[in-house]
Amino acid sequence: MERGLIIDQFDELRSLYSDLTLQKSDGVWHIQGQLVFIANFAEQVIEDEYSIHLVVPESYPDCVPVAYETGNRIPRHFHKYKDGNLCLGEPLAVWKTFSEHPTLLGFVQNNLVPYLYSFSYLCKNGRLPFGELSHGELGRIEYYQDQFNVRSEHSLFGLIAILAQGEYRGHIQCPCGSKKRLRLCHGPHVLEIMRSTPSGYFKSLYQFMSQRGLAYFR
């Protein structure tokens, strides 16, 4: 991670969010302060502010920053990981959004602010503006059911198995149950995901679904 890249991108970020500061500690860059925003994602303009802390990984911009809310406004049960960092969405979806504008400003505007907007919207209206996925691996199952347009977890499990094992064979029957060859059905989407994710990305989801699968047949 080049120092000049971080400095330049932070200057761009601070031009819109002036209450943020940049520091380097133990070789890691930290962005902290008040994030004041005005956003309209669900036909309701919301102006709000949060105390935030972004940790920029050494592998940036090949990996997205890690975000924390430090003002204790957002409870632990609202889409946070065990260590308190914010779950901004399914990791692949977060990466895809970030990769379209891979800058600190792009991350804040396109990944972080929508999350904060959702919580502010919930506080004002008693519901979320975009719907809500379950926490953890269950949420990932729901996300990929939507991505692949399959309702059955068993059908999805077959597709996840291909992704987890990294063995694509286009001539086999598609696990979705369509009775088509994989290459003529979900194959192109599977290949697209395989090319954009690192090895082992789907291992935990595959193991989680395997355990659920065992429970189905007891």
Residue 187 has pLDDT above 60, yes or no: yes
User: Dihedrals φ, ψ of 206, to 5°?
Assistant: -60, -45
Instruction: Identify which has the larger pLDDT, 97 or 42.
Output: 97
Residue 214 has pLDDT above 50, yes or no: no
68-85 per-position pLDDT tens digit = 999 999 999 899 988 999
pLDDT bracket for residue 215 (50, 70, 90): very low
pLDDT bracket for residue 93 (50, 70, 90): confident
Q: Which CATH number fits domain 3-125: 3.40.50.360, 3.90.950.10, 3.30.70.260, 3.10.110.10?
A: 3.10.110.10
* Distances 6 to 13, 26, 105, 119, 214 between C-alpha atoms, Å: 10, 16, 11, 28, 47
Q: Give, in degrees to the nearest 5, the angle at Cα 86 between 153 and 212.
A: 20
Cα–Cα dist 23/30, whole Å: 5
Residue 29 has pLDDT above 90, yes or no: yes
Domain ranges of the chain: 3-125, 136-216
Cα–Cα dist 91/201, whole Å: 10
Residue 41: per-residue pLDDT: 84
Residue 218: per-residue pLDDT: 31
- Strand order from edge to edge, sheet including 46-56: 20-25, 28-39, 46-56, 66-69
User: Dihedrals φ, ψ of 77, to 5°?
Assistant: -80, -10
Cα–Cα dist 133/161, whole Å: 22
Helix (H) or strand (E) holding 208: helix 203-216
Residue 172 has pLDDT above 50, yes or no: yes
112-158 per-position pLDDT tens digit = 999 999 999 999 999 988 776 677 788 889 889 988 999 888 889 99
Residue 216 has pLDDT above 70, yes or no: no
Residue 1: per-residue pLDDT: 62
Cα–Cα dist 61/107, whole Å: 10
What is the average per-residue pLDDT within 171-183?
Answer: 94
pLDDT cut 70: percent of the chain above it:
96
Contact 166, 194 (CB under 8 A): yes
Cα–Cα dist 38/179, whole Å: 49
